[in-house]
Amino acid sequence: MYFNTKGKLRSMLASWTSLAEPDLFAQTAAGRAWFRVDDLLRLCAHITELQGRRKPRRVKKIMPLMSR
């Protein structure tokens, strides 16, 4: 935790710093895998949830002008 320039108390994940323990997945993957399966599954769940919240778009139907 730290105070930002405006004096507000903030925090960040320890994994974003050099203070975290070595990541076993990253060590084992050795650069061959960009994402973890469990993280991708959570991302899919978040996307599905967000899509369910989205309001359907209303499309205005435009009819062509018919000459008489």
Choice between 65 and 32, residue whose per-residue pLDDT is larger:
32
State pTM to two decimals.
0.44
Q: Which tens digit of pLDDT belongs to each residue from 6-56?
A: 999 999 888 778 888 888 888 888 889 888 888 899 999 999 988 887 766
Predicted local distance difference test score (pLDDT) of residue 68: 61
Predicted local distance difference test score (pLDDT) of residue 43: 92
Predicted local distance difference test score (pLDDT) of residue 56: 66
State residue 10 phi and psi, 5-degree precision: -130, 170
